[in-house]
Chains A and B, each alone.
Chain A
Amino acid sequence: MSLLEIHNLSKSFKGLLANDKICMELKLGEARCIIGPNGAGKTTLISMISGHLFQSSGIITFDGKNISNHDLVKRVRLGIGRKFQTPTLFDNLTVYENVELSVIRNNYSNFEKNAKIDETLKLIRLFDEKDVPANTLSHGQRQWLEIGLLIGNNVKLLLLDEPTAGMTTEETIATTKLINNLSGEKNLSIIVIEHDINFVRELGAQITVLHLGKIFAEGNYSTIENNKFVREIYLGAPDVVS
């Protein structure tokens, strides 16, 4: 059964159609990459799923429930978590306190709480930095910490908006492993928006290409790479018709 089903989802901003009848399904434990040139409507799509924006028309079903009219908080409590394009953290609190704030929503016992925090910190490779304020972390570490906030929050679906932006090559590789680990072992569903085509290839997930608010192509990396039109709009083929 699909965890997330999107049916004919559209969003228009004062007449500009940012998303046009998007249909998509995501299974439990599945990772999906959304790529597309600037202005393709990627962030708009994620915002409608997370509840930061409301759709103009269309239906979103999550875990068998129609959540189209649920607000942000209600959706988070059902298990949809979102990482923003620029890391959004509690800058003046320590890494530990950051994760703690996401974990305490679950009403755990003290023992469970500490175990969950430690587990999350190890997963995002920030256990050694746990007493450091979040604003002293490197850019890549901040991205991980924000993913950690979603894990600590016990979400089922992670929406990651450019998780590798500003990362070094090593950090990008570690992020690929982390995402694969989350979808593979932890059985979480993940939607990733990315620009870094090497990352998309390494991740090996199914890819959805958005262009001008519409789904332009879908498939695995080699299908997408060999799609002539995708090359034209996105990868920048040399023989683009002017």
Chain B
Amino acid sequence: MQNVLTKISGEAKFELLIFLALASIPLVFSGYILFILPQYMLFGLLAVSLSILWGLTGIISFGQAGFFAIGAYAIGIVVKSTFLMNSAILGILLGIIVSAVIAGVVGYFLFSAKVKATYFVLATLALSIIIEQLAKSQKEITGGWNGLFVDRISISFGDLLEYSLFNDIPMYYFTLLLTTIAYALIKFLTTSNFGKILRGIRENEDRILALGYNTSIYKTLIFCVSGALAGFAGSIYGTHAGFVDPSLARVLFSTEVIVWVAIGGRNSIIGSFLGGILVASLANYLNSITPEYWQLIIGIVFIAVVILFKGGLAGGLEEIYHRLKSKNYVSARNP
């Protein structure tokens, strides 16, 4: 028990450290990093949206990019077409709600029909392709192949105060704030009874069913939360990047999310979050120094991490930590 307690608080301390570091970056650095890091934080959230499915519940989704694109298009379309005061907030909410509803409906039919994990993956893949095709074909709404320009939003509080996110530093802190809130909510969810039951589904679905839990409802709910989170990240991404196009919904992007999470550590929320940030930054950096080979290098890193640590970098670090602490440690967490 003592071990478990120190481990939990250790992880929480680490998470606090990461968010404090993110908060202090604008005090130290300036320039491009302040522009690009919010985007990577949103990628981190996107990675978390997969980690609560894959790591926590044991379901893989190839459709996370689809939800991300829905969020981005939602804010783009709303900001463009309405003259409401709070069109930005409306856009973000719409991104969350549409993603959640689509995930909920798809999840409900697939899970209550007891579809196997493999077929679920294929269904999410198809979902992603459908979203991409819709984005391409509905030219009047989405701009088709050309995409959609999205203005940086302003958040207004009544008539008096308007907070523009046009500059990088306000955008940075706005994104960081929302990211932190979303992260904390997800963290709370994973430690709640709901999260424990999801872990039970991952470990042994037959047993959790035989304990009287309706697993299809739990799986539908977590898919819904995951879709909502991806849509949320996407909506902020839309206004941050200023541009949305159909490539956001591509299967290739969904696959990238899987790579981030596998490298970061699917069983760890903070590991996945950092996986999203670090692997996306690494990919960007490598792309600038060696445009021909960057994908190859990321591929090698991916394979190396998967072979060396089954639980990704987070799982590997945890294992090393426990090895150092006690030589009798039995790897329990990361099967």
Contacts and interface: CB of A to CB of B under 8 A. Distances in A.
Given A101-B197, A104-B193, A92 B211 contact: no
A88 B213 contact: no
Nearest to B192: A104
B210 A101 contact: no
Interface residues of A, number: 28
B211 A153 contact: yes
Contact of B335 (A81, A82, A92, A102): A92
Contacts of B193: 104
A234 interface: no
A93 B203 contact: yes
Given A94-B332, A104-B196, A133-B332, A89 B207 contact: yes
A90 B330 contact: no
B206 A136 contact: no
B200 interface: yes
A51 to B, nearest CB: 9
Interface string B203-231: 11011111111100000000000000000
A91 interface: yes
Interface centre among B4, B193, B204 (most CB of A within 10 A): B204
Interface stretch (A24-32, A59-67, A72-80): A72-80
Interface string A84-119: 100011111110010011101100000000000000
A149 interface: yes
A50 interface: yes
B3 interface: yes
A149 B203 contact: no
B208 A101 contact: yes
A90 B203 contact: yes
B332 A105 contact: no
Contacts of A90: 199-200, 203-204, 207
Nearest to B193: A104
B206 to A, nearest CB: 6
B28 interface: no
A135 to B, nearest CB: 8
Contacts of A196: none
A50 B332 contact: no
Contact of B210 (A88, A97, A136): A88
A102 B3 CA distance: 23
A81 B196 contact: no
A122 B127 CA distance: 49
B210 A72 contact: yes
Given A92-B332, A105-B211, 10 more contacts: A50-B210, A76-B212, A88-B207, A92-B203, A92-B335, A93-B199, A93-B200, A100-B196, A101-B208, A131-B3
